[in-house]
Structures are given as C-alpha cells and as structure tokens.
Amino acid sequence: MDAAYDNDNIFARILRGELPAHKVYEDDATLVFMDVMPRADGHALVIPKNPSRNVLDIEPRDLNAVLATTQKIARAALKAFDAEGILIQQYNEAASGQTVFHTHFHVIPRWADTALRPHGGEMADPEVLKAQADKLRAALA
C-alpha cells in the first residue's frame, strides 16, 4: 500500500474540532461518535486519535486501543438499543468499500427482522443522532 494518510480527511477534521459530531465516548487514544449515514439505529464509529489510513498501517498500540473501545461500545449498544446482536465492520482501502481513509470500526446494533440500510446511504436527522448518542452514553455509565 503506497497511499499516504490525508490530514484533511473528515475524521481528522472531527478530531481537530473543525467539524461537528455527535460524540459518545472519548479517552486518550480513541473517539466514538454517531455515523451520520447509519446502516441501523445506534450505528457508531470508533476511531483512533493518532493518524492511520486503516488496519494495514495502524500502530499496534492504537489498534489495541480501538479494539478495546469497540468492545466497550458494542456492549453498550446491545444494552442501549435492546439489540439482538452487534455487527462490527471495518474496511481497508477503496476496493473493500472504505470511503474515509482514517482507521475506523463500525459498531452496528442488529435485529433479526430489520434489514441494514446501504453503506454510505442517507443522512440521518441530527436530532435522532443526538438522542441515540445520549442512549449510548447512558448505557456506558
């Protein structure tokens, strides 16, 4: 992989506070916020604070931190949304479906009778995302 990290990608801009996000959780190494184009209710994104394009170039310590936070958010999402399961997705490079080139994991609550919305589909209502972020934060407490 020869592609370089782009410091102006949307997630880097969220980390710098240049763009808004419905934040759920933050620690020294990771940030969690709601996906603005959710595949299901409660769809959150977990990102490292340090720059990396994806799993192919992330530092192991950052990957460990992201995975620990992903597990924490998955458990909270299961509880907060009364989900039957949790889908965790992670894409690496454009051919896999990656559209934002900053490492991120999708944490998506799932129910057997509910189809997923398309990846990169419609923008969600900001008030709905705010309410879902509130539910996730409450489940983390």
Known catalytic residues are 104
**Per the structure block, which two tokens stand in for 53?**
């394009």
Distance in angstroms (rounded) separating the CA atoms of residues 22 and 83: 20
Strands, E assignment, the chain:
23-26, 30-34, 44-48, 85-89, 105-110
Distance in angstroms (rounded) separating the CA atoms of residues 56 and 92: 7
DSSP label of 127? H
